[in-house]
Amino acid sequence: MLIQQVCIPKKDLTTVDENCTLEKALNILEESGYRCVPILDETGKIFRGNIYKMHIYRHKSNGGDMQLPVTHLLKNATKYIYLTSSFFKIFFTIKELPYIAVLDENQNFYGILTHSKLLNILAQSWDVKEGRFVLTVASTGKRGDLSTIAKIITKHSSITSCITLDVGQDEYIRRMLFTLPAGTTEETCRTIVEHLEKKNYRVVEVEDLQQQAEMTQ
């Protein structure tokens, strides 16, 4: 995953330095409209953590000193990834955060990757401009299943994208989502489903992306 292409660089961000007071930080958050912003050190290179508007308001409502530095309420100090991090590292690090800090190879703050951007990357697998049908195929996770299923599908159609999901303690351990290209016909889709099920690969769902798009218009 090329993080550099999808993250927001430091120059385009609103940040505060570690010596900024809570009062000033609250004004910055109010003016920017963000619920949190990154805290950087005095040099603007080192990521210290995040400051959240709600934490400042809570501190203020409890009679807290608003002249304290933002580091008094900093959060997420260890929540960051690198420009070279894998997709899985990103996915499991960001979790409920609005964004994750991105560091370069020198440990310097490069920018942020937002939660919404990550979801948009995942959503591309269901892009109606590129795909037509999404087949959810269940298997027991045996070695070679992915390769075998892909070979069956590619006898009739190319594959726009593929995602594998571990669904846990179920009859079928793993589900694979294959997106077929936009020009795929219903007849071709039915043929693929028939051939998969003949090989004992259960197609648990077939989603028509074009139909879904028409329903949301």
Which tens digits make up the pLDDT trace of 8-42?
A: 999 999 999 999 999 999 999 999 999 999 999 99
| Tokens representing residue 173 in the block | 């351990």
Cα dihedral value 39, 42, 47, 48, nearest 10: -60
Tokens of 75: 């959060």
CATH of domain 127-216: 3.30.70.260
For residue range 101-160, list pLDDT tens digits in order: 999 999 999 999 998 888 877 776 556 567 889 999 988 878 899 999 999 999 999 998
Structural domain spans, the chain: 3-121, 127-216
pLDDT tens digits for 40-78? 999 999 999 999 999 999 999 999 999 999 999 999 999
Pick the CATH number of 3-121 from 3.40.50.1360, 3.80.30.20, 3.40.190.170, 3.10.580.10: 3.10.580.10
